[in-house]
Amino acid sequence: MQLVLATHNPHKVKEVAAILEPIVAGLTIGGYDGPEPIEDGTSFLENSLIKARAAFLHTGQTSIADDSGIAVEILGGAPGIFSARWSGSKDDARNRQLLLAQLADVPEGNRQASFICTITMVGPDGEQSFTGVWPGRIAFSETGSNGFGYDPIFIPEGFEVSAAELEPLVKNSTSHRAMALSQLASYLRPQ
């Protein structure tokens, strides 16, 4: 079975393939080179549906899409669906620096945040969605070189290091994306 991953982000393709391919026998994850739809949904679910539907219509193959981001409690859940362009551009470093600046005076006990990921699969048999939530907190500075996005400033619950300091195997077994993909894998595996 092959699934098209509706993203132009090579980091996501690599991460999703690393998580799913070993646990679903015979599964391969293919990239997507079609047009990017306008993500005008108001939730992770709506935006993942928009992307998965567009990829399915473009390729005719069962497609999956994720929409994910970071939700900071003291900011009322922001950046949320605007995580990828929080600073006004899709620049990970600028997004992290802006979020750190916005939280500069917020003490340790009020820096709770969660990474949220909704994965949607669209194919000839219909649509299914799965959501994972990875709780933690925002650090005071960037550390680590693994991962991407907000990983260098996110300290997952149960860890004392950033997500960017975790070994890929650890992150790929505990993250928000891993949780949502695990649900998808259970759905895909024969009962």
Q: What is the pLDDT of residues 3-60, one digit of tens each?
A: 999 998 887 788 888 888 888 888 889 889 999 999 999 999 999 999 999 999 999 9
Residue 191 has pLDDT above 80, yes or no: no
pLDDT of residue 147: 80
pLDDT of residue 23: 83
Reported as a pLDDT band with limits 50, 70 and 90, residue 121 is very high
Return the minimum-mean-pLDDT range out of 22-31, 95-104, 155-164.
22-31
Return the minimum-mean-pLDDT range out of 13-17, 123-127, 137-141, 156-160.
13-17
Residue pair 102/82 in contact (Cβ under 8 Å)? The answer is no
Residue pair 27/20 in contact (Cβ under 8 Å)? The answer is yes
Residue 63 has pLDDT above 60, yes or no: yes
0.85 exceeded by pTM: yes
Residue 164 has pLDDT above 70, yes or no: yes
Over residues 86-97, the mean pLDDT reads 96
Residue 103 has pLDDT above 80, yes or no: yes
Q: What is the DSSP string of the chain?
A: -EEEE--S-HHHHHHHHHHHTTTSTT-EEE---SPPPP---SSHHHHHHHHHHHHHHHHSS-EEEEEEEEEEGGGTT-BGGGGGGTTSSS-HHHHHHHHHHHTTT--GGG-EEEEEEEEEEEETTEEEEEEEEEEEEE-SS---SSS-TTGGGEEETT-SS-GGGS-HHHHHHHSHHHHHHHHHHHHHS--
**151 included as an active-site residue:** no
CATH architecture of 2-188: Alpha-Beta Complex (3.90)
Q: Which two tokens stand for residue 183?
A: 């649900």
The amino acid at residue 180 is: A
Angle at 113 between CA 110 and CA 119, to 5 degrees: 170
Closest C-alpha among 125, 103, 145, 111 to residue 56: 125
Catalytic residue among 66, 67, 92, 151: 67
Domain ranges of the chain: 2-188
User: Which of 11-15, 149-153, 168-172 holds the top average pLDDT?
Assistant: 149-153
